[in-house]
Structure 1
Amino acid sequence: MYLKRITLMRDKIMNDKRYPFSIPALNHFESLELEHPVTFFVGENGSGKSTLLEAVADQCGFNNASGGRNTNYTVEASQSDLGSYIRLSWLPKTNRGFFLRAESFYHFASYLDELAKEDPTFGYKGYGGRSLHEQSHGEAFLSLFLNRFGEESIYLLDEPEAALSPARQLAFLKIIHDLAGRGDAQFIIATHSPILLGYPDASIYNFDSAPIEKINYEDTEHYQITSGFLNRKEQFLKELFRDEE
């Protein structure tokens, strides 16, 4: 374990009515304890989970569009609005890791292609040996996870399921298990995926509540809606479409 606590420095806030503190979960935020190697942030779009995750990435010195500490490219609107207001508590501190923002992964892949053009020896080492643009979106994600991710690192992932089929989400769970199980890799993941959320012994924090609170897997809306739909599909669809009858 590396990152132990995320704390909001309220003394730095001049106006808690403006973004990002206009988000209820962040307006009531004080601190978050990280007790397990794998932590999930869940909540609706706009609930603040990605905002807090990118703030952590900012404080880690990772590229906020996707990348690690030495990834040098910029994408418009990839800066953190919250980063300067949080403090990270480490034991021990690590400078190794990676931030994945699914929505700007294309730009990261293009950045690697530029490096390959400039350096013939680059060879996409750590990325499967070929351009991520030459792979499908899902293949590129898994290639990154399999080849770039390693030991003694912290990984901050914003909706990694965006490009992964259910089968590949299961494959990704195995990658997490192999790395975190050795005790020297930490994952913090913002997700909507009930498959990823099923990772055993993970902490799940619900950003739909204010303040943010820990929640059991079976109590997440993601699990309940998915489970209910699979077990009672006809009833769900009838309720959904009843105004059209």
Structure 2
Amino acid sequence: MMFGTTPLNHVGVNGSGKSTLVEVFAMAYGVNPEGGSTGALHHSRTTESGLHSGLGVRRVSHGESFLALITDQFRGGGLWILDEPESALSFSGCLSLLSVLTDLMDDGDSQVILSTHSPLLASLPGADICEVGPWGLRHNDWENLELVQSWRSFLDAPERFHKYL
């Protein structure tokens, strides 16, 4: 499978299959689906899908030093696959990541595949957004994503959600 220069975002709720898709891309390129940089060999138990056999990536883990990793490693052309990188990032950290990813895409020699719960990261300019859910995969515009509508609803009136806690 060949990738173009358009970033591909996978968005959806937990358990919808976003991470499985990221693992498939990673395995297709011979990268450890459990995370880490190129050459990482750690392994617990096989739980990954066999879908990778038809694909071919460079995968990056996240953690406390994620912003430093972004600044130091995200350079030049290549395929960048990120699985929920927002989990280690604050709002401003997500903005920094979005800036780096935008720069990579603007250079024209990179491909980004991103699985996210973040409406901020889902807004990557020019992204082909695939929303994952019980319906399967569907292309959607950012403003129509369930996660964007849910966040807007919460931010407009958090007290409506508090009664369900």
What is the TM-score normalised by the length of structure 2? 0.87
Q: Render the CA deviation track for 1:78-125: whole Å, top value 9, x for unaligned.
A: 6632345x5238xxxxxxx521354xx6xxxxxxxxxxxxxxxxxxxx
How far the C-alpha of 1:141 sits from its partner, in A, is 0.6
d(CA) in 2 for partners of 1:37 and 1:68?
23
How far the C-alpha of 1:65 sits from its partner, in A, is 2.2
Aligned partner of 1:87 among 34, 41, 54: 54
Q: Render the CA deviation track for 1:13-53: whole Å, top value 9, x for unaligned.
A: xxxxxxxxxxxxxxxxxxxxxx6521110111111111111
**1:241 partnered with 2:163:** yes
How far the C-alpha of 1:72 sits from its partner, in A, is 3.6
Partner residue of 1:167? 92
**1:100 partnered with 2:64:** no
After the TM superposition, which segments of 4 or more aligned residues of structure 1 sit over 6 Å from their partners?
A: none
d(CA) in 1 for partners of 2:45 and 2:140?
31
Match runs of 1:12-91 below 5 Å: 36-69=5-38, 71-77=39-45, 80-84=48-52, 86-88=53-55
Structure 2: runs of 5+ lacking an equivalent: none
Over aligned residues, Cα RMSD in angstroms? 2.4
Helix, strand or coil: the match of 2:26? helix
Q: Render the CA deviation track for 1:201-222: whole Å, top value 9, x for unaligned.
A: 2111111043411011111111
For the Cα contact (< 8 Å) 2:10–2:132, is it kept in 1? yes
Partner residue of 2:124? 199
Whichever residue aligns with residue 142 of structure 1, its letter is: L
How far the C-alpha of 1:188 sits from its partner, in A, is 0.3
What is the TM-score normalised by the length of structure 1? 0.61
Count of aligned residue pairs for this structure pair: 165
For the Cα contact (< 8 Å) 2:11–2:115, is it kept in 1? yes
Structure with max Cα Rg: 1
Q: Render the CA deviation track for 1:146-175: whole Å, top value 9, x for unaligned.
A: 111221210111100000000110011110
